[in-house]
Structure 1
Amino acid sequence: MARVLCFALLALLAAPFLGFIYVLFLKSPPPLPDIDVQAWWGPKELQAKQDTSIKPFKVQFSAPMIQDLKERLKNHRKWTPPLENVGFQYGFNSKQLDGWVSYWAAKYNFTEREKFFNRFPQFKTNIQGLDIHFIRIKPEVPAGVEVVPMLFMHGWPGSVREFYEALPLLTAVSKDRDFAIEAIVPSLPGYGFSDAAVRPGLGATEISVVMRNLMHRLGFKKFYIQGGDWGSLIASAMATLFPDEIVGHHTNLGSSMSTKANILNVLGAFLPSFVVESHLADRMYPLSTNFARLIEESGYMHIQSTKPDTIGVAISDSPVGMLAYILEKFSTWTKNEYKYLPDGGLDKHWTKDQLLDNLMCYWATNSFTTSVRLYSESFNKRHFGLQLNEIPTPVPTWAIQAKNEITFQSARILRTKFPNLVAANAIDDGGHFLAFELPKVFSEDVLKAVAAFRNLKKEAKKNEL
């Protein structure tokens, strides 16, 4: 009897270990889900007569919208004063609101900012029932220089505005490169100047199909992709669903949410060297510290994943509320320690005009509610049931990892999703809005990645011969 109990105890103790071994090394990934690449997200009455034309577009801040905005900014209630000796620990410090609100109402030059928004060529085209807005910059190149298309995707609470300082650097022609990037920068569906879905179901995976079809509309059957925040999840889905079309994938928020990744993350808490390089271990461990920060910073996510339309009513009705809600993210997501500063450190990287430009993408288009619905459409049983996180993609991938990004995963963990990880470039600066905060660093990294992807392709062709 004692021997039987002993064997039973050993089996019980071995079961978790064997389970880990099975998941890490033996379990096969699920098949690709069956995705309707022509799913219609717009009004049904438009489906019978689809318009596939590409039309020029310009941002316009209408006089009635501006007048309404100024009146709302001026006719606000008195702020509730902050607690003594706090910065942004409780959220946006209301002592800072007067300066921001008065600037937006009286000093933000709507005419000049409209011209700034229109400095790049912009267009709209209808994809799957939605008018999708995008910037398109094609550089003039000399003989011997190839123009390569690259799709850049933003996230929340960002917009296409995040890329404006980086775009001239990204699309520049250099004698040191045999290529130049043609940049396509869309507003995600439901964000800014792009239409929102009229029915449920347009999550990150479905948006990846819209983005792929946009590139097809523009004549690109093979192209590079880049994404941060939601853009990184959409890019990951594109690389998974369409690996023969994506020739290279760059991300500034590399992540794997697979079961394998979660197991390795937990194992690293006991044996960090098994998971992450020693000089980067403090970005992941101790787990309690990182988990506590995620809990502290993710309350918005739970609200937007469950009741997006409720928070949407409040924020869409008050420009001051929108300012406080969104700019607080630009504070703590850029550097967590900024929450201890009275002004949230917002002026350390951006001017008021830059940050208000981003707000205008939401306010002028009344797209806050439709933007946050993406959380509800992606963080649910249906979307998780697609199991894209569990399916590795062979697409060559390059990650730049900012020092102050909200989350960090080691190269070993990233390879559970991206086995052809060309580089995981951990830098000692920067936060969540990397293209907006450090456009030169971001652009140089993207260009290095594309050069590496092209060299891989050339090497593969040589080996074929």
Structure 2
Amino acid sequence: QTILCRLRSFEYSQKNAVLVPAAALGIGGMLVYWLRSRHKIKAIEMGDGWWGPGERPLQGKEDESIRPFKIETSDKEIEDLHRRLEQARYTPGLEGAAFHYGFNSGYLRKVVTYWRNQFDWRKQVEVLNKYPHFQTTIEGIDIHFIHVKPSYVPHGRAVRPLLMVHGWPGSFYEFYKIIPLLTEPARHSLNEGDVVFEVICPSIPGYGFSEAPHQKGFEAVAAARIFHKLMNRLGFKEYYLQGGDWGSHITTNMAQMLPQSVKGLHLNLIFVGRQGLRRMISVMLGAYVPWLVGLTREDVQRMYPFIQKNIYELLRESGYLHIQATKPDTAGCGLNDSPVGLAAYILEKFSTWTDKSFLHKDDGGLESKYSLDELLTNVMIYWVTSSIVSSMRFYKENISKDPTMTANARARVYVPTGIAAFPQEIVHTPRTWAKEIYRNIITYSYMPRGGHFAAFEEPKLLAQDIMHFVRKVEQL
């Protein structure tokens, strides 16, 4: 019995010899993880990259020329589109489904009929070419952008450079209605000409007429670096930034990377990923004593009931995100081959992201805010460039990493920041939460109407808010 006790004691000590260090290692690892994620940094390192095919050339300087670019089409391109539209197969819809199951198949037939018989792509190409287009090679890939300067500048007025960055599933075309309001505000009765911009709208690499990266790993920080290089190449030392969707993420990274170059950052969507006990307490108390946790009456109206508006509705609208953040190439194959499938996939977002109530409409409310020509022009930019797959990959490159451990998640934004909070945006971020990341908020505006595609849907409202923000910054 004494021998058995000793054997058991030995076995117990042997287990302890393994379990105790393992537990200590696990707890230590968690502590290091927590400390690293809590450690804040002042700025993101700019670094460098190569996204062209093969290895980066060892010798020779990259061609830094700015080349004029023109969008073109052909009979072959249009004939191929028409053939595919004519051969489309449709799925019978469910009675009374509206947009609850996605794009309504009955309305899709109407859109495709218009696309095939009335939509004039040649005319829309002329519309796209009304602003000057350019390309330049940065880090091995061709970057497309439009650069619009004011036709008239009042004497003594300075022109402010403004970089505007789109998101998914949008494009540079989203900004076509807001550009004249910013470059010629007096002509559009927006002000007396005291704030005038020249506007630069690039296409994110892999979107539209910007070349897709040939290497893995191209995410928002890389896009931010490329756009800084673009602005530097255009001769700008200081400039304003504006963005929504991915454009918000990219321009935020630009402000974190080179704050000395960013005069001001204006956003119409805020990403604040940090959760935790403090946020949980804020959510719980906000429903009853909002003033105690820094929430306004408008915040409460937009955020509550919290579970419905921030979990159920977000889950309903984010299914695409999980696909694109994991296996984008699989779903992208069908979209790249079928213009009808591509239109349904893209235009569904322009319905419920513009207004959540459009879910209940048979036509998704699309034509109440946009024309079919506008919507299909955006779809065509993806179609003729075969860029839907590369645009979807941007999700995988950004979301596949632990968001709390990336440098941009641990850096704060100290440049002057303006926020336009549109009521139909997918998610509402109150000012008190935004301040956790954006430490120098100059303006925070509760916009009276509008949703996710602000520049496309409410160009005048957005232009006014940008100007209001810039005036405030210029007075600092």
Q: TM-score, normalised by structure 1?
A: 0.89
Question: Is 1:279 the counterpart of 2:293 in the alignment?
Answer: no
Judge conservation of contact 1:256–1:389 (CA < 8 Å) in 2.
no
* TM-fit CA distance, 1:120: 0.5
Alignment match, 1:105: 116
Alignment match, 1:67: 79
Matches within 5 A, 1:55-94: 55-77=67-89, 79-94=90-105
Question: Is 1:41 the counterpart of 2:51 in the alignment?
Answer: yes
Question: Is 1:116 the counterpart of 2:120 in the alignment?
Answer: no
Judge conservation of contact 2:157–2:194 (CA < 8 Å) in 1.
yes
Judge conservation of contact 1:33–1:386 (CA < 8 Å) in 2.
no
Q: Distance in 1 between matches of 2:408 and 2:124?
A: 40
Shift in CA distance, 149/246, structure 1 to aligned 2, threshold 3 Å:
same
Judge conservation of contact 2:325–2:396 (CA < 8 Å) in 1.
yes
Alignment match, 2:358: 338
- The partner residue of 2:471 within 446, 451, 455 is 451
- The partner residue of 2:223 within 163, 182, 207 is 207
Moved over 6 A (4+): none
- The partner residue of 1:95 within 97, 101, 106 is 106
Shift in CA distance, 114/33, structure 1 to aligned 2, threshold 3 Å:
closer
Q: Distance in 2 between matches of 1:192 and 1:170?
A: 23
Judge conservation of contact 2:154–2:193 (CA < 8 Å) in 1.
no
What's the secondary structure of 2:299's corresponding residue? helix
What's the secondary structure of 2:242's corresponding residue? strand
Alignment match, 2:139: 128
- The partner residue of 2:267 within 233, 246, 251 is 251
Question: Is 1:365 the counterpart of 2:385 in the alignment?
Answer: yes
Alignment match, 1:12: none
What's the secondary structure of 1:293's corresponding residue? helix
Matches within 5 A, 1:399-410: 399-410=419-430
Alignment match, 2:14: none
Judge conservation of contact 1:378–1:384 (CA < 8 Å) in 2.
no
Judge conservation of contact 1:250–1:399 (CA < 8 Å) in 2.
yes
Aligned partner of 2:167: which letter?
G
Q: Distance in 2 between matches of 1:363 and 1:110?
A: 12
What's the secondary structure of 1:306's corresponding residue? coil
Q: Distance in 2 between matches of 1:279 and 1:156?
A: 28
Alignment match, 2:341: 321
Unaligned residue ranges in structure 2 (runs of 5+): 1-33
Judge conservation of contact 1:166–1:440 (CA < 8 Å) in 2.
yes
* TM-fit CA distance, 1:40: 1.0
- The partner residue of 1:270 within 259, 284, 287 is 284
Matches within 5 A, 1:152-191: 152-174=164-186, 176-191=192-207
Judge conservation of contact 2:403–2:409 (CA < 8 Å) in 1.
no
Shift in CA distance, 383/263, structure 1 to aligned 2, threshold 3 Å:
closer
Unaligned residue ranges in structure 1 (runs of 5+): 1-22, 457-465
Shift in CA distance, 180/126, structure 1 to aligned 2, threshold 3 Å:
same
Aligned partner of 1:55: which letter?
R
Q: Distance in 2 between matches of 1:232 and 1:297?
A: 19
* TM-fit CA distance, 1:295: 0.6
* TM-fit CA distance, 1:384: 5.2
Q: Distance in 2 between matches of 1:173 and 1:108?
A: 31
- The partner residue of 2:247 within 215, 219, 231 is 231
Q: Distance in 2 between matches of 1:384 and 1:308?
A: 23
Aligned partner of 1:399: which letter?
I
Judge conservation of contact 2:326–2:400 (CA < 8 Å) in 1.
no
Larger Rg: 2
Shift in CA distance, 145/31, structure 1 to aligned 2, threshold 3 Å:
closer
Matches within 5 A, 1:303-322: 303-322=323-342
Moved more, 185-194 or 94-103: 94-103
What's the secondary structure of 2:264's corresponding residue? strand
Judge conservation of contact 2:172–2:202 (CA < 8 Å) in 1.
yes
Q: Distance in 2 between matches of 1:137 and 1:306?
A: 37
- Sequence identity of aligned pairs in percent? 40
Q: Distance in 1 between matches of 2:357 and 2:340?
A: 24
* TM-fit CA distance, 1:391: 1.7
* TM-fit CA distance, 1:381: 1.9
* TM-fit CA distance, 1:452: 1.3
Judge conservation of contact 2:223–2:250 (CA < 8 Å) in 1.
yes
Aligned partner of 1:254: which letter?
I
Judge conservation of contact 2:44–2:411 (CA < 8 Å) in 1.
no
Aligned partner of 2:264: which letter?
G
Judge conservation of contact 2:43–2:258 (CA < 8 Å) in 1.
no
Q: Distance in 2 between matches of 1:34 and 1:364?
A: 36
Judge conservation of contact 1:92–1:324 (CA < 8 Å) in 2.
yes
Judge conservation of contact 1:269–1:286 (CA < 8 Å) in 2.
no
Q: Distance in 1 between matches of 2:163 and 2:43?
A: 23
Q: Distance in 1 between matches of 2:127 and 2:297?
A: 45
Q: Distance in 2 between matches of 1:178 and 1:124?
A: 31
Judge conservation of contact 2:264–2:416 (CA < 8 Å) in 1.
yes
* TM-fit CA distance, 1:264: 4.3
State the aligned residue count: 428
Judge conservation of contact 1:264–1:413 (CA < 8 Å) in 2.
no
Aligned partner of 1:318: which letter?
S
Cα distance per residue 1:123-165 (max 9 Å; x no partner): 1111111111111011131320101101000000000111101
Judge conservation of contact 2:41–2:412 (CA < 8 Å) in 1.
no
Cα distance per residue 1:337-388 (max 9 Å; x no partner): 1010010000111110000010011001000000010000000226653231
Moved more, 219-228 or 250-259: 250-259
What's the secondary structure of 1:381's corresponding residue? coil
